[in-house]
Structure 1
Amino acid sequence: MSNTSIRRGTNLPRMGDFNESVVLDAIRRHPKGLSRVELAHATGLSAQTVSNICRRLLDQGLTQESGKQSSGGGGKPRTLLRVVAGARYAVGVHLDPAVITYVLLDLLGTTVARRSEPTPLGTDIHAVTAEMVSAVRALIDDSGVEPERVLGLGIAAPGPLDAGHGMVVDPPELPGWGSVPLRASLAAGTGLPTLLDKDVIAAAVAERWMGAATETRNFLFFYLGTGSGMGLVVDDTVLRGASGNAGEVGGLGAACSTRALVDEAIQMGALGHEFTPTGPQDARRSLDELARLARAGVQPAAGVVERWAIRIGRGVCAAATLLDSDTIVFGGPLWPQMSEPFLSVIEPMVAASPYVKAVHPTRVTSTRIGEHVAAVGAACLVLDQTLSAQPGSLLLH
C-alpha cells in the first residue's frame, strides 16, 4: 500500500476532529477497504486512537465493515473498513459565461446527478441567482437524495473574486456581475452551507480529491474554458493567494481564452467572418470548428492552434519549474476539443525542458473527470473542507 498521498495524524489529545478526518480520508482513498492496523501504519496514529475513531465513524454511518483480510502467519483475519458512499453528498455549481453546470456528488466523488443550462445573457443578476437556487433544489429533489444528507454547496466561478465576502467581482464575459454576493445569495436561497472559489482552483481540488493527481502532492492544473488559469498545489496545499485569486497566467505568457483564439483565427483567415462570435456560446461553437480544422491538419487553423499551444507550454514549463511540480494536468470545458493538438506540442516541450526534468520526471496528463471538472471541483470543495484534514482558509456560512 502506497502512503505517499495519505495525510499524517497527531496523537495530541485535542486533535480528535483532525485525526478523524485523517482516518476517513485514508479509508476513502482505498475503495476496497483498509484494516485498523493498516490505518495506524498509514496515518501515524496509535492503534487505540485509530480504534476509537473507527468506532465513531461506524456509529455515524460514514464507514462500514467490508469483509476480512488475512493478516499473514496464520493470525486472526483483519476487518476491513470502507466509506459508505451514500452517507453524505455535496452539490457543486460552475458559473461559466457560456453554461451553468450543477452536479451532486457522493462521498467517493461519484456524480449521482447533473444538469446544465445556458448562462442567461441578461443583466438581471437577481433573476439569474434565483434560477440557480431553483436549479440546485431541483437537482437534489430529482436525485431522490435525502436533503439532510447534503453537506453543503460549492460554487466555482471565474475570477476575480472577493473570497472574504463571497463576491464575484466583474469577471470577463459576464456583464452585470460586478460585486455580486453570490455565496450569500445561494446560501440564503438553498439553506445550505456554501463555499465560493475560483473555477480553476476548484478544478485543482477535484483532481487532488479524485482525479489525475491523487498520487502526488505537487502539481499544477491548467484550466481551459471561456478563460484560462492555473490551479497550483504545493505540498498537498492548494495555493489561493492573499485574495483567493492565485492562478492568473497572463504574466507567464500562457493566457488563453476562447474569444482570443477565435479572433486570431478569423484574423489569420483560418475561420470565416461568419464565425465571429456575439457571445461566449457562439465563441465555443466557433472554437469547435477551429479545433476540427486543426486536428485535420488544415492550415492556417493548425498554425493558429500550434502557436497558442507553444505559449501555454512555455507558461506551464515556467510554473512547473518555479513550484517544482511533478505533474501537470490539463482540463476544462474546452479541453476535449483541444487536447490532441495541444498535447502534441506541449508534451515534447515539457520533456525537453532542462528545468522541469532536471531532478525528477514531470508527468503531463489530461483530467480524468471530464469537461465538468470545475462543477465537480465545486462539490469537492465542500467534501474536502468538511471531511479532509487538509488545512484551508475557506469559510462556511
Structure 2
Amino acid sequence: MPIHGLKTLGNVNPPHFNIENVIRPNILALHPYRCARDDYSEGILLDANENALGHSIPKPSSNATLSDLTPDLAETLDLDLHRYPSPSHPEIKARIAALRGLPSTDYIFLGVGSDEVIDLVMRVCVAPGKEKILITPPTYGMYVVSAQVNDIGVVKVPLELSGANGEGGENGRFSVRVDKVLDAVAADPSIKLIFLCSPGNPSTTLVSLNAIRTICSSPKFNGIVIVDEAYIDFVTLETDKPVSAASLVEEFSNLVVFQTLSKSFGLAAIRLGIALAQPPLIQILTNTKAPYNISTPTAHLALTALSPSSVAGMRAKVATLIKNRATLLEKLFSSEGTKRNLGQPIGAGHANFIMVPVLKKDGSGEVDNQRAARVYKVLAEANGLVVRFRGNELGCEACLRITIGTEEENEAAVTRLTKVFNEI
C-alpha cells in the first residue's frame, strides 16, 4: 500500500526490512487532515476561520498598567499569533538537515518535545494490546509511560554493568548487550520497536555505532531501531570520531534518531523534539501528527537557535558544561566532606549530568539506598538543592543524579552535600 504523500523512498536497506510490514494498516491507509496552510500561506487569508483583527493582548507601553505586560513580550506579540502556524516549517528542517549532515528536509520531523515523537512512533507502529517494544533499562522513563498509555507490551533487556561502585578501581560502565537484544527480538516477533538511549539517561552510556549497525542489519529483527540522542552534543565535542547515529540514517531505512533542542541548546521550555529518519517513516509521522503541532513562538525561537551564530554559542556553552562537569567531579572526590560518602560515578559520563552512589556512613564502602533517599529529600526540603534520586532503577542502587550547573551552583552542591552528609 503506498504511503500518502511520499515523494522518495530513500535507501531501502537492510534488504529484509519493509516499512509497510511495520506500520499499522490503519495508519498506512490514513489520508491526513489537510489544513488551510497546506495549500496557501500568502494573500488575503479568509480560509482558516482565524481572527482577522489579530490577538487581543495589548502591547507593553510606558503607560501600561497591567503588571503582566512587560517589554520582553514585545517581540512575541509582533508575531502573527492570530494566524495558524506553518504545518511543515521547512526552514527549521533545512537548518537541522545541514547541522546533522542529512540530504534534505524529507529526513526531518518536528514534534512537541521528544515525548510527542516517542508517543507518535509507538502509535503508528505498534498495535495496542497485541504488540510490544523493547527497552534497555535503566533508561528514560517515558518509554514505559507511553507504552502503558498506548496499551503496548514492554520487553526489558537490561544494560550490563561492569566494575560497579569503583570495583577494580574503575567506574561502573553500562553497555548494551547486542546479542541479548537480538535473541529477545528473535524469540518474540511481536516486538516492533527497539529503544536505545544514547547517551543513556541515567546511565550516560554511549551506544556504539557498531552496535547500532549490527542491530539494524540483523535479519532477526524486522522492526524499527530508535536511538534517542537527547545528550549527543555533549559527546561530539569530546571526540573527532563520528558518534551520532544520525550518520547512519541514510544507510538504514529501519533507523530513527531522536534529538531535541532541550539539552545542549538550552531550550527546554519551547518543547521542540526532532526525529531523523528516511523519508517513508518521516512521511508517515507527518501524515499522523496534529496539523499545527509546532507553535509560532516555538518555531521563531527554534529557527534562531539553529542559526550559525547560535549553534556556535551552543557549542561554547556545551564546552563550558563539560569543563564544569570535570570540576564538579574533582571537588566531590577531593573534599573530605563528600568523597568518603560517595562511590565512584556510574556510567561513562557522556552527558550534562553525573550519577553517583551514596555510601553507608560507617565507612564500609557499601552503597546505602535508604540513606541516598533521605539525602535527596533533605537536600531539597531543608537545603534548597534539588537533585534526582535514581536508586529504584535497575543498576542505580543508592544513586543520585546531579545535573551540571554553573560554577556557583556546583560549589553550592558540594557545600550542601557536605552539610547533609554530616547530618545523615
Larger % of strand: which?
Answer: 1
User: TM-score under structure 2 normalisation?
Assistant: 0.30
